[in-house]
Structure 1
Amino acid sequence: MSKLFKRYIEVLTGNLRFNNTDLDIEFDIPFDDDLEPNLSEIVIYNLSESTRNKLKRGQTLTINAGYVEDKGLILSGSIEAITTVKNGADLATTIKVLDSVPYDATKTLQKSYKKNIKSDAVIRDLAQSIGLKIAVLNLPDNKVMTDGYSIDGEVVKAINDIATDCGASAYISRGQIYVRPIKEGDNHNFILKADTGLIGSPEYFEEEKNGTTIKGYKVKSLLQYRMNTASIIKLESQFVKATVRVRKGRHYARGNDFYTEVEAVL
């Protein structure tokens, strides 16, 4: 655990840069594998009035966190709201951030596509229509729509339905859309064990979803930026050795807490 000391938090937005050496910073950053953007909350204490006035709704905000010798990106999104309240002797500025570029999650569309169009082409066009950038588009079964395709409803639902029909999962992470097989992800060749931050023992779970049994582990660790939606990690503990894919979780820092908690599937 030689690198897991001296916590590091850096918040960037506009021309502003904040870090936990100069200011007290807290956050709660959820993530998951669906197309609904997640709302994160960042609290920064005792900002000056002139600095607070530079924080603007719609600005991109990113957070890098971890440790001085081992840090990385945990959030990239758009500022949704800013409030400042008195908290004892301190001023607490709360910034709420959507983990996506601004887009209308309920936007509807009426449109028809030509015969024999491929599913990935429709997904690309639909994503563009609501202003979402595609980071990964990999359909296990890129079906040809022989009769064409028509949409008359919510764009996000249509993207999700087409992805599911082609054997993929669609979700938003760090401001971009990912469409790929549920078992695929970002392999950082990271082994989570006691020496790299694992806390306690992974907790096994099973659940039924759409007639399928999903198996996996609930895991808690010291804050680990490598664990995010679709991260592939190896678990190593006294009783568990497994390779898993993260499906949801949260990074949080408050007081002495500086943790990542995830649910990961086998």
Structure 2
Amino acid sequence: MNRLFKRVVEVISGNVRMNNDELDIYFNIPFDDDLEPNLSEITVYNLSQTTINQLKRGQKLSINAGYSDDKGLIQSGEISSVSTKWEGADRATLIKVLDSVPYNSAKTLQRSYKNNIKADAIIKDLAQALGLKVATLRLPTNKVFKKGYSIDGEIIKSIQNIAEDCGASAYISRQQAFIRPITEGDNHNFVLNSDTGLIGSPEYFEEEKNGKLVKGYKFKSLLQYRMNTASIIQLQSREVKATLRIRKGKHINNGSSFYTEAEAIM
């Protein structure tokens, strides 16, 4: 736990470099297991007008956070909007950031595919029509649509549905799109326990999804950049010892608290 001291926050966008040694920087950064872009909010107090003018819509923004000897990337996206207002004697600038790659998530399509077409071929074609670059495409079951496949609606929903039918998760994380097995993720060999930041006791849950029973835990820790969509972690507490894959959560810094909440499945 000794290394979890001295909080560090760095915000980088173009020529702008901001850090929490010089400015008060708060954030709420959600992440989850789908292709809908997540909207993060970063509030920075008392920025100069010159700096505010350099923060422009469509510009890439990234955030590193953690501690003096252990920090990492928690957000990479594009600025959606920038607004400034006075809060008493302080000037608060709210920066909204989309964790996305450039594509139109609401785009629709009307198209039919031939008999015996495979799921990966449909996904590749739909992704191209959407302008979505997929970093990883790996389907546990490459389903064959014997009677063909038709789409008449939102492309993103069809990609999501086909991926789920094939046992895969489709999501965007840090400006990259992934379609891969629901149990597959990024293993940082990270053990979360009371010594590495676990707060309180994990909460067990069960739910049914696509006809299957899903089991997992919800938990909270001191802010941990290694925890993101599809991160594989070892959760250890008095009640639990399990290897889990994170499916959603959020990173929060509100001034008094600096933490990560997550929901992970077995």
The TM-score by the shorter chain falls in which range?
over 0.9
Q: Which residue does 1:28 correspond to in 2?
A: 28
Question: What is the CA–CA distance in structure 2 between the aligned matches of 1:86 and 1:125, rounded to whole Å?
Answer: 48
Q: What do residues 52-89 of structure 1 show as CA deviations (whole Å, max 9, x unaligned)?
A: 11111111111111112111111111111111000121
Ranges in structure 2 where 5+ consecutive residues have no aligned partner: none
Amino acid aligned to 1:206: E
Q: Which residue does 1:74 correspond to in 2?
A: 74
Q: Which residue does 1:197 correspond to in 2?
A: 197
Structure 1 residue ranges (4+ consecutive) displaced by more than 6 angstroms after TM superposition: none
Question: What is the CA–CA distance in structure 2 between the aligned matches of 1:162 and 1:212, rounded to whole Å?
Answer: 16
Amino acid aligned to 1:73: L
Amino acid aligned to 1:265: I
Q: What do residues 167-206 of structure 1 show as CA deviations (whole Å, max 9, x unaligned)?
A: 2111121112111111111111100011111111111122
Give, in angstroms, the shift of residue 17 of structure 1.
1.3
Question: What is the CA–CA distance in structure 1 between the aligned matches of 2:70 and 2:201, rounded to whole Å?
Answer: 23
Q: Which residue does 2:18 correspond to in 1?
A: 18
Question: What is the CA–CA distance in structure 1 between the aligned matches of 2:218 and 2:96, rounded to whole Å?
Answer: 26
Task: Return the TM-score normalized by structure 1.
Answer: 0.94
Question: What is the CA–CA distance in structure 2 between the aligned matches of 1:19 and 1:148, rounded to whole Å?
Answer: 53
- Spell out the pairing of 1:48-197 with structure 2 (5 A cutoff): 48-114=48-114, 116-197=116-197
- SS of 2:54's equivalent in the other structure is coil
Compared CA separation, residues 36 and 197, structure 1 to 2 (3 A): same
Amino acid aligned to 1:204: Y
Say whether residues 1:231 and 2:203 are aligned partners.
no
Question: What is the CA–CA distance in structure 1 between the aligned matches of 2:163 and 2:210, rounded to whole Å?
Answer: 15
Q: Which residue does 2:250 correspond to in 1?
A: 250
Compared CA separation, residues 85 and 197, structure 1 to 2 (3 A): same
Question: What is the CA–CA distance in structure 1 between the aligned matches of 2:127 and 2:76, rounded to whole Å?
Answer: 18
Amino acid aligned to 2:91: L
Task: Return the TM-score normalized by structure 2.
Answer: 0.94
Question: What is the CA–CA distance in structure 2 between the aligned matches of 1:10 and 1:121, rounded to whole Å?
Answer: 41
Give, in angstroms, the shift of residue 209 of structure 1.
2.9
Q: What do residues 137-171 of structure 1 show as CA deviations (whole Å, max 9, x unaligned)?
A: 11011134455444322110110121122121111
Larger CA deviation: 205-214 vs 36-45: 205-214
Q: Which residue does 2:262 correspond to in 1?
A: 262
Amino acid aligned to 1:65: A
- SS of 2:251's equivalent in the other structure is strand
Amino acid aligned to 1:196: T
Compared CA separation, residues 58 and 207, structure 1 to 2 (3 A): same
Q: Which residue does 1:217 correspond to in 2?
A: 217
Larger CA deviation: 143-152 vs 199-208: 143-152
Q: What do residues 32-68 of structure 1 show as CA deviations (whole Å, max 9, x unaligned)?
A: 1012111110001111111111111111111111112
Task: Say whether the 8 Å CA contact 1:6–1:68 is kept in structure 2.
Answer: yes
- SS of 1:226's equivalent in the other structure is coil
Question: What is the CA–CA distance in structure 1 between the aligned matches of 2:206 and 2:119, rounded to whole Å?
Answer: 32
- SS of 2:217's equivalent in the other structure is strand
Larger CA deviation: 14-23 vs 123-132: 123-132
Amino acid aligned to 1:161: N
Give, in angstroms, the shift of residue 117 of structure 1.
4.1
Amino acid aligned to 2:23: L
Task: Say whether the 8 Å CA contact 1:132–1:176 is kept in structure 2.
Answer: no
- SS of 1:53's equivalent in the other structure is helix
How many aligned residue pairs are there? Answer: 266
Larger CA deviation: 204-213 vs 31-40: 204-213
Task: Say whether the 8 Å CA contact 1:58–1:102 is kept in structure 2.
Answer: no
Give, in angstroms, the shift of residue 247 of structure 1.
1.0
Compared CA separation, residues 145 and 211, structure 1 to 2 (3 A): closer
